[in-house]
């Protein structure tokens, strides 16, 4: 009996070791690793464009069930530091989008393939033929947003009581949205010969950009409002759970 008990204990130890190394407990739902952004940055202003109809598609986007913003805990914690810094300068963060389920990206793709649907063209892509949206990378089959650590945002001036003038609007399809439109984003130097925005508008873009870079986010070369956490926890995972309160 003694040897049987020892064998049983040894087997249990091996099984437990196997669980610890190859079958460690994981969250039952992937969204358990995400947070509602306003739980971390309570004064963030939300304008969840894809929950409403004022977006380049013109309708609510699949997967946006509530007007909330979700991010991985790591990205939200880093954004909290950004918010603290900018608040001390008189600004709040305004968020347009963050985590985006794959079903939403699929909705964009279906819309992009329907060349007859140009209802929102004059607001978001008046100078681009819709047939070129995939070619120009305005629409893609995958999005970094779906990994949970990317967000689209701008600044809100608390003293003025309005958004900061960035010289362009969120989700505008065109070179006017590029961070280098109006100057060199690496040096922050304005060049009036490069674009039709003012020095103040370019400086506002750089204010947001530099704050995000200082606290672990990387910019995107085509959109001044788009940033991704450099050390994102899910660099190869594209989630599909809906946007709603967790």
Catalytically active residues are: 223
Other CB atoms within 10 A of residue 30 CB: 14
Which residue is listed with tokens 């790591």? 74
Alpha-carbon distance 151 to 135, whole Å?
Answer: 23
Residue 138 contacts by C-beta under 8 Å, 6 or more apart in sequence?
125, 128, 173
Which residues, 6+ apart, have CB-to-CB distance to 147 below 8 Å?
Answer: 232, 234, 235, 236, 237, 238, 239
Q: Which residues have C-beta within 8 Å of that of residue 186, sequence separation ≥ 6?
A: none
* Residue 23 CB neighbour total at 10 angstroms: 10
Residue 198 CA to residue 205 CA, distance in Å, equals: 11
Unique residue bearing structure tokens 């629409």: 139
What's the DSSP call for residue 238? -
């Amino acid at each position: 009996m003694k040897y049987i008990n020892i064998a049983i204990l040894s087997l249990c130890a091996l099984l437990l070791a196997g669980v610890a190394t190859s079958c460690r407990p994981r969250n039952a739902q992937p969204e358990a690793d995400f947070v509602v952004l306003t739980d971390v940055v309570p004064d963030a202003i939300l304008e969840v464009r894809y929950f409403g109809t004022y977006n380049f598609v013109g309708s609510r986007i699949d997967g946006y069930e509530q007007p909330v913003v979700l991010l991985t805990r790591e990205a939200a914690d880093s954004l909290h530091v950004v918010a603290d810094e900018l608040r001390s300068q008189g600004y709040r963060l305004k968020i347009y989008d963050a985590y985006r389920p794959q079903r939403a990206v699929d909705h964009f793709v279906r819309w992009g393939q329907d060349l007859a649907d140009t209802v929102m063209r004059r607001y978001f892509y008046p100078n681009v033929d819709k047939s070129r949206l995939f070619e120009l990378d305005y629409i893609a089959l995958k999005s970094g947003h779906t990994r949970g650590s990317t967000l689209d945002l701008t600044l809100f001036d608390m003293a003025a009581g309005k958004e900061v003038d960035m010289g362009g609007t969120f989700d505008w399809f065109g070179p006017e949205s590029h961070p280098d439109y109006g100057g060199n984003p690496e040096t922050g130097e304005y060049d009036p010969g490069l674009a039709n925005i003012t020095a103040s508008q370019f400086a506002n873009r750089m204010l947001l950009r530099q704050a995000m870079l200082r606290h672990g986010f990387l910019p995107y070369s085509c959109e001044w409002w788009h940033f991704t956490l450099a050390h994102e926890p899910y660099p190869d995972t594209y989630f599909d759970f809906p946007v709603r309160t967790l």
